[in-house]
Amino acid sequence: MRSDPPRVRGRRARRGLTAAAATLLAAGLFVNPVARGADVQAQARVDNPYAGAKVYVNPEWSAHAAAEPGGGKVSNQPTGVWLDRIAAIQGTSGSMGLRAHLDRALSQGANLIQLVVYDLPGRDCAALASNGELPPNDLPRYESEFIDPIAAILADSKYSNLRIVTVIEIDSLPNLVTNTNSRPTATAACDTMLQNGNYVNGVGYALSKLGAIPNVYNYLDAAHHGWIGWDDNFTATASMLAQAARASGSTVDNVTGFITNTANYSALTEPYFTINDSVNGTSVRQSKWVDWNRYVDELSFAQAFRQQLVNAGFPSNIGMLIDTSRNGWGGSARPAGPGAMTSVDTYVNGGRLDRRIHVGNWCNQSGAGLGERPRATPASEIDAYVWMKPPGESDGSSSPIPNNEGKGFDPMCDPTYTGNVRNGYNMSGALPDAPLSGHWFSTQFQQLLANAYPPL
Ligand code: BGC
């Protein structure tokens, strides 16, 4: 039988042990995580699981990367393992299941593995490329056939020395804020998921089940600056995240932190303009690109949103992750200095690193490059830069492709599409000839290598 280690959060321990831990410490049964750091993650959560960690390299992604010319320069980087359907738990058609990944992590001598938990009922309500397998009302199956089996495997004492980072259900809760009610961006599918409560309750269930495992570190998805950086979305999204963290018997203490920019392309920092700049007396917030957003890049957004989340009730020691897998924007099109001070538009467009046509574009963006390599504690309040989206895996197919993965066709992945209300009716900026979401897209990987920044 498995003997459960004491449930002490390392973050609290940093400031002083709980009474329970102090008793165990006195009895010689508990090792103070402050004193011993990484040795004791089986006993207590550490403040930042990435600090001093050896992160698992997914051999399946690594093999794809290594098979590409030049791919060997990055094929030993850690990337996220996506549990994107029930069948992924056991493994699908020759691909590794959850236990196989965990076992391989142990044999690699890794002590941290990154999992993306992604199969809510009615998944991806504002897009079609990653529509899921479960219909909007099937919360019972999500809980019993997806979350429960994952939790049972993660709780195996064999894995108790692994720090298991779980990224919970990307895009879902932000969609409930920005794409519902009478907003022009609303979709019927997102309205349904708001009304039936299954995103909120599903996320709460996942957090409470997975958060009960002492070596699991839950990070909730917090979209990106080009999505919730506007005043209307910023506080409302933090409240929605707090609501979900308290649903289905969960509490905010089940949350170690948040991740921004998952599978997105927003630049980490924009060195050639700031939100406070103006041109001829006009603020850059009035430029077409910024369009009244409060943030121009991911790092400033992640740090500010962290504070908003604390204000919304999350513990003051939460940390942030930023997905830098595809936000490098290097290569020959990268600006070398600020844009011309002719107008706010020439200034912003001439100087911005993010070369997307519109900040709402998200599918297989042409011109993107690999971003910062994964690393721990890169900036204040940031637990790590991570490659949660495995670079080279498609965001969605450029044209409809029949499949049994529950994947739909989203025109935002078609390079000829002229857009919708969510990207201001701009061209999609997507690369042509892309395969289904999650499938290897060699052409994109080659471009990501060529446009990597920092360069490889
Ligand atoms: C897809 C998943 C895939 C993931 C990582 C998502 O867009 O829906 O199937 O595993 O991307 O590539």
* Residue 78 and residue 374 in contact, taking contact as beta carbons nearer than 8 Å: yes
d(CA 253, CA 314): 7
Comparing CA positions, the residue from 363, 374, 396 lying closest to residue 165 is 374
Which ligand 1 atom is the nearest neighbour of the CA of 88? 10
Element (H, E) at 20: helix 19-26
Hey, whose CA ends up nearest to atom 5 of ligand 1?
Answer: 438
For ligand 1, whether the C-beta of 391 sits within 6 Å is no
pLDDT of residue 404: 87
Please report whether residue 438 resides in a domain. Answer: yes
Hey, whose CA ends up nearest to atom 10 of ligand 1?
Answer: 438
Element (H, E) at 370: none
pLDDT, tens digit (0-9, with 9 covering 90-100), for 224-273: 999 999 999 999 999 999 999 999 999 999 999 999 999 999 999 999 99
pLDDT of residue 405: 86
For ligand 1, whether the C-beta of 437 sits within 6 Å is yes
Please report whether residue 381 resides in a domain. Answer: yes
d(CA 167, CA 437): 18
For ligand 1, whether the C-beta of 80 sits within 6 Å is no
Q: Which of 389, 407, 437 to mutate to test the pocket of ligand 1 (most atoms within 8 A of CB)?
A: 437
For ligand 1, whether the C-beta of 324 sits within 6 Å is no
Please report whether residue 3 resides in a domain. Answer: no
Query: Which residues make Cβ contacts (< 8 Å) with residue 93, sequence separation at least 6?
Result: none
Stretches where the chain sits below pLDDT 50 are: 1-42
Q: Which of 119, 297, 395, 410 is catalytic?
A: 395
User: Is 395 a known active-site residue?
Assistant: yes
d(CA 114, CA 161): 14
Please report whether residue 9 resides in a domain. Answer: no
Q: Which of 84, 119, 138, 171 is catalytic?
A: 171
Which ligand 1 atom is the nearest neighbour of the CA of 405? 9
Query: In angstroms, what is the span from residue 199 Cα to ligand 1's centroid?
Result: 18
Comparing CA positions, the residue from 441, 167, 211, 94 lying closest to residue 322 is 167
Residue 261, token pair as written in the block: 């920019």
Q: Which of 58, 118, 397 to mutate to test the pocket of ligand 1 (most atoms within 8 A of CB)?
A: 118
pLDDT, tens digit (0-9, with 9 covering 90-100), for 119-142: 999 999 999 998 889 999 999 999
Query: In angstroms, what is the span from residue 204 Cα to ligand 1's centroid?
Result: 22
Comparing CA positions, the residue from 115, 35, 130 lying closest to residue 78 is 115
Please report whether residue 39 resides in a domain. Answer: yes
9: left (phi over 0), alpha (psi -120 to 50) or beta: beta
Please report whether residue 4 resides in a domain. Answer: no
* First CA to last CA distance, the chain: 48
Q: How far is CA 175 from CA 43, 95, 122, 227, in A?
A: 36, 30, 12, 9
Hey, whose CA ends up nearest to atom 11 of ligand 1?
Answer: 438
- Crossing angle of helices 231-245 and 298-311, in 10° steps, is 50
Comparing CA positions, the residue from 55, 32, 20 lying closest to residue 376 is 55
Q: Is the dihedral of CA 358, 361, 365, 369 positive or negative?
A: positive
Q: How many domains does the chain have?
A: 1
Residue 98, token pair as written in the block: 């959850």
Identify the CATH number of the domain in which residue 97 sits. 3.20.20.40
For ligand 1, whether the C-beta of 445 sits within 6 Å is no
Query: In angstroms, what is the span from residue 373 Cα to ligand 1's centroid?
Result: 20
Hey, whose CA ends up nearest to atom 8 of ligand 1?
Answer: 130
Please report whether residue 7 resides in a domain. Answer: no
Please report whether residue 325 resides in a domain. Answer: yes
d(CA 16, CA 395): 44
Query: In angstroms, what is the span from residue 172 Cα to ligand 1's centroid?
Result: 14
For the chain, state the CA radius of gyration. 21
Instruction: Give me the phi and psi of 94, to 5 degrees please.
Output: 85, -5
Query: In angstroms, what is the span from residue 236 Cα to ligand 1's centroid?
Result: 27
Could you tell me the residue range of the domain that residue 346 belongs to? 19-450
326 residue type, one letter: R
pTM (2 d.p.): 0.91
pLDDT of residue 43: 55
